[in-house]
Amino acid sequence: MLEFARWKYALMALLIAVSALYALPNVFPQDPAVQVTAGRGGVMDDALVERIRGSLQSANLGFRSVAMEQGAVLVRLDSVDAQSQVASVIETAIGDDYVVALNLASTVPAWLESLGGKSMVLGLDLLGGVHFLMEVDEQAAIEKRLDGMVDDIRALLRERSLHYTAVNRTGETIEISLRDATERDPAAAAILAVMPGVQMTNDPATANKLTASLNPEQRVAMLDGALEQNMVTLRNRINELGVTEPIVQRQGSTRIVVQLAGVQDTARAKKIIGATATLEYRAVAEGDAYAARDTGRVPPDARLYYRRDKGVDGKPVPVLLKKSVIASGDQLTGATSGIDAQSGTPKVDVTLNPMGGQHMFEFTRDNVGKGMAVVFVERTPDTKVVDGQTLQTSRTVEEVISVATVQGVFGRQFQTTGLDSPEEAAQLALLLRAGSLAAPMEIVEERIVGPSLGAENIRAGVAAVTYSFIFVLVFFVVYYKMFGVITNLALFINLLMVVAVMSIIGATLTLPGLAGIALTVGMSVDANVLINERIREELRAGNTPLTSIANGYTKAAGTIADANLTAILAGVALFIFGTGPVKGFAVTLIIGILTSMYSAVSASRGIASLIYGSRRKLSDLSI
């Protein structure tokens, strides 16, 4: 007979309630906003909030609110059109110590957010955002690789007791000058044994010189590896900085596509994907740094740097450091920020890889009592207008953040202090963890998908789903009568569950995702048609109405499961092998299939049992 266990009713009620709760945030629209965060030297406090509010009031610009939210000042606005003008006024008022970005602010109530409720993440085609096509600088990548090989060759020759007078890079080759001609062949053999991708040539004019260069295969492999590492670095950096669901894809042998949904400020986006920050540990060189600054005469083995703090003359304090780097950010495997227990100042705990740790151990072992400096290196993209044309350049800042005396021997793990604030320590640790780009990249194409176009896509997509849903509802009521109403309730439960699940897991909704939802509605319709037609067959076979309902659901369940299983396998294949929009479609499809199986087979049966289960003398069905 037609029975439905009480625990199944309880489960269905719980699922509907939870689905309604977590689908609810999507009802609340997002406010256009301008977000202000601290840069280097910026302080986030109530005084900043008042400065921003005052600047907007002086400029007669309207706003909903100005408040500190989650460590940032958020200016909520009435329209997207006002964002750029408000951001410009704020930037002028607060200066370069802060980062001003266009954003969208959630209006979900606090009580709902406390339960984990959040809106579905919208993709680039729905929310708007920026699209970048970036190209690897092949020449710079090769030169960086060769510069690293220079240090490796020097270390190798010292290790093998092969004496050299010079090892220098010239263009795309490395010239090696040995002290004795008899050491040329052993040196070449040692280099080839350790660096199989290098090709060696002898200088016919001199018997004590070698020339090393990358062979064509190694060159291609190195560029390919640089591109892959850059993709990983970009993903890590964007994810750590909180940009939602970025798309980072390879295009060809030298290009990477980056799409950032919800980002309307291209300058801010460029800073996110192009900024690099790292640390270099260098030995303090002998000599008078002030004299070197004033005369321009710097020792040949040294470079002139400047500290962040200023001297009594009001100028940055100069420091002479060795050209050779003891360890750099490329050799970091971990970085966490915190507060030094002894000094109470911000710190970054650093962990080096084995090679970097060995270099640091050897240096500290041989230089106890001598000076070592920490250099903060930051490279950020910049835009300049020259003769009416916009040029993309980069700005590199190198500052000595601390100079200390080596008190003892250490290797892979140690800490760096001298940072201005805990926020800067956290930002530095973030970028160190994300890694540095293996090769410089240039933005060769940028495109903005405006929020108005995204809104139009949303309207069109929602309209397609809505109209198809309404058409199905009307058709089922006309064709299947009461069971059409039951089917419609099941379809509504299915749609509610799809939206809730996508909101909970943070899946990105794109235009293909909307197509997936529409397809899910269609597949759910198929399942309900199978059930309803099976019930009709049972009635025509002479079974009682209650028996027909029970047999209809039981016998159709297997067919529905088989059909949906094959569709799930197809969705999994699309997710594994697809990229970008295809993945979004696959995620929506898989979620929709799973929820439609439950709503068609179990939820609709529960509703039918609720309506007909207690009517023992039922003689006819409205189907």
Pairing of strands 247-251, 164-170: unpaired
Give the pLDDT score at 431.
59
Residue 319 pLDDT class (50, 70, 90 cuts): very high
Q: Is 124 exposed, middle or buried (0-12, 13-18, 19+ CB in 10 A)?
A: buried
| In the predicted structure, residue 62 carries a pLDDT above the cut 80 | yes
Of the segments 455-464, 468-477, 612-621, which one has the largest average pLDDT value?
468-477
Strands of 65-69's sheet in order across: 65-69, 72-76, 31-38, 98-105
| In the predicted structure, residue 307 carries a pLDDT above the cut 70 | yes
| In the predicted structure, residue 426 carries a pLDDT above the cut 90 | no
Rounded to an integer, the average pLDDT of 214-230 is 82
Give the pLDDT score at 24.
92
Local structure of 440: helix, strand or coil: coil
Number of CB atoms found within 10 A of residue 286's CB: 12
Helix (H) or strand (E) holding 562: helix 545-577
Where in 311-388 does DSSP place strands (E)?
A: 316-328, 332-339, 346-352, 371-386
Give the pLDDT score at 375.
86
Give the pLDDT score at 562.
87
Residue 214 pLDDT class (50, 70, 90 cuts): confident
Residue 23 pLDDT class (50, 70, 90 cuts): very high
pLDDT mean across residues, the chain: 82
pLDDT in tens, 275-305: 666 778 899 998 888 888 888 888 888 999 9
Residue 259: phi, psi to the nearest 5? -125, 125
pLDDT in tens, 431-457: 566 666 667 777 788 777 766 666 777
| In the predicted structure, residue 40 carries a pLDDT above the cut 70 | no
d(CA 405, CA 91): 41
- 245 or 169: whose pLDDT is higher? 169
What domains can be seen in the chain, in order of their start residue? 6-25+452-612 (1.20.1640.10), 139-219 (3.30.1240.20), 275-448 (3.30.1360.200)
| In the predicted structure, residue 91 carries a pLDDT above the cut 90 | no
Q: Is residue 609 within 8 Å of residue 9, measured between CB atoms? A: no
Written as six digits, the tokens of 536 are 């009709």
Q: Is residue 421 within 8 Å of residue 92, measured between CB atoms? A: no
Written as six digits, the tokens of 505 are 């897991």
Written as six digits, the tokens of 511 are 């235009």
| In the predicted structure, residue 131 carries a pLDDT above the cut 70 | yes
Smallest CA-to-CA distance from 319 within 305, 309, 331 is with 305
Q: Is residue 90 within 8 Å of residue 103, measured between CB atoms? A: no
In single-letter form, the type of residue at position 603 comes to A
| In the predicted structure, residue 382 carries a pLDDT above the cut 70 | no
| In the predicted structure, residue 557 carries a pLDDT above the cut 70 | yes
Of the segments 42-46, 282-286, 340-344, which one has the largest average pLDDT value?
282-286
Of the segments 142-156, 331-345, 363-377, which one has the largest average pLDDT value?
363-377
Q: How far is CA 91 from the centre of its chain?
A: 26
Number of CB atoms found within 10 A of residue 111's CB: 8
Residue 420 pLDDT class (50, 70, 90 cuts): low
- 43 or 605: whose pLDDT is higher? 605
Give the pLDDT score at 18.
94
d(CA 132, CA 135): 10
Question: Looking at the whole model, is its pTM more than 0.95?
Answer: no
Give the pLDDT score at 258.
87
